[in-house]
């Protein structure tokens, strides 16, 4: 969706609407960096201060986040996602894990009942990507691959509202993953390969009880890890 030169009336509001439109349409996906300020100034046909005010408003809403010396990144795909992300930032990690647990347990059961051959193929590819990141010792790639794996697992439930809710939570859960992956805990605690592979097998087999149990296993481990690390910091 190309950007258009903006009329001079209500400039900031109009620019905000255009930038929000780029995000909500998926033209600027969550996690990507938006164009640099000079590019936006030229594309929109407005002044630098107008662009700055519009970006500042979207940063305040939670849709955008500036990283010093790097640029401004998309953090939420719409206003609801931004609101959820703001709430997650105020929540403790254990609260976030409890919410994640509720969604993933339901998703696992539904996925085991509804999965297609394409879902299984996508899950196996996501698991392989996660394994590769671990073997390479790339923690940042492992975190991204883990988030992707769980998105794919939730998508296999074929419930659009559940998938949307989980997407709103996902980037907010990145901090929990970073805490665990970057910790001095043991390899199996940080990686949880066994329970993730077992989840794929259970979904493929259509076993709803085992699929739910796999989710409970790796999330219980995550809760225990967060508590252990929190106690160690005190």
Residues 46 and 111 in one domain: no
Structural domain of residue 57, as residue ranges?
A: 11-79
Residues 100 and 174 in one domain: yes
Pick from 110, 70, 72, 99: nearest CA to 170: 99
CATH code where residue 175 lies: 1.20.120.530
The pLDDT score that the predictor gives to residue 9 is 45
Q: Is residue 120 part of a domain?
A: yes
Phi/psi at 172 (nearest 5 deg)?
-65, -25
Q: Which residue has the tokens 């719409």?
A: 78
% the chain with pLDDT above 90: 43
Residues 48 and 109 in one domain: no
Output the six-digit token pair for 95. 């609260």
180 neighbors 190 (Cβ within 8 angstroms): yes
Instruction: List, in order, residues 6 or more apart from 184 with CB less than 8 Å away.
Output: none
Residues 108 and 74 in one domain: no
Residues 221 and 112 in one domain: yes
Mean pLDDT score across all residues of the chain: 84
pLDDT in tens, 104-136: 999 999 999 999 999 999 999 999 999 999 888
State the pTM of this model.
0.68
Q: Is residue 130 part of a domain?
A: yes
Q: Between 10 and 149, where is the model more confident? A: 149
Pick from 92, 65, 26: nearest CA to 230: 92
Strand 71-74 relative to strand 64-67, pairing: antiparallel
Residues 39 and 99 in one domain: no
Pick from 113, 100, 114, 109: nearest CA to 146: 100
In eight-state DSSP terms, residue 92 is: -
Output the six-digit token pair for 212. 């739910």
Q: Between 187 and 181, where is the model more confident? A: 181
Q: Between 203 and 69, where is the model more confident? A: 203
Number of structural domains in the chain: 2
Residues 150 and 221 in one domain: yes
Q: Is residue 23 part of a domain?
A: yes
């Amino acid at each position: 969706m190309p950007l258009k030169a903006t009329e001079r009336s209500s400039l900031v509001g109009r620019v905000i609407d255009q930038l929000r439109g780029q995000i909500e349409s998926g033209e600027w996906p969550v996690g990507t960096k938006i164009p640099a300020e000079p590019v936006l100034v030229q594309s929109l046909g407005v002044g630098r201060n107008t662009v700055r005010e519009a970006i500042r408003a979207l940063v305040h809403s939670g849709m955008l986040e500036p990283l010093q010396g790097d640029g401004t990144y998309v953090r939420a795909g719409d206003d609801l996602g931004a609101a959820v992300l703001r709430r997650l930032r105020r929540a403790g990690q254990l609260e976030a894990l409890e919410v994640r647990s509720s969604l993933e347990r339901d998703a696992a059961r539904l996925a085991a009942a509804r999965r297609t051959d394409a879902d299984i193929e996508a899950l196996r590819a996501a698991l392989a990507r996660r394994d590769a990141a671990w073997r390479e010792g790339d923690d940042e790639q492992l975190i991204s691959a883990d988030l992707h794996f769980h998105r794919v697992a939730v998508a296999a439930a074929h419930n659009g509202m559940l998938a949307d809710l989980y997407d709103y939570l996902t980037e907010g859960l990145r901090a929990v993953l970073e805490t665990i992956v970057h910790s001095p805990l043991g390899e199996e605690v940080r990686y949880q390969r066994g329970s993730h592979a077992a989840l794929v097998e259970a979904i493929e087999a259509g076993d709803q009880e085992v699929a739910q149990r796999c989710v409970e296993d790796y999330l219980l481990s995550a809760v225990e890890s967060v508590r252990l690390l929190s106690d160690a910091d005190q």
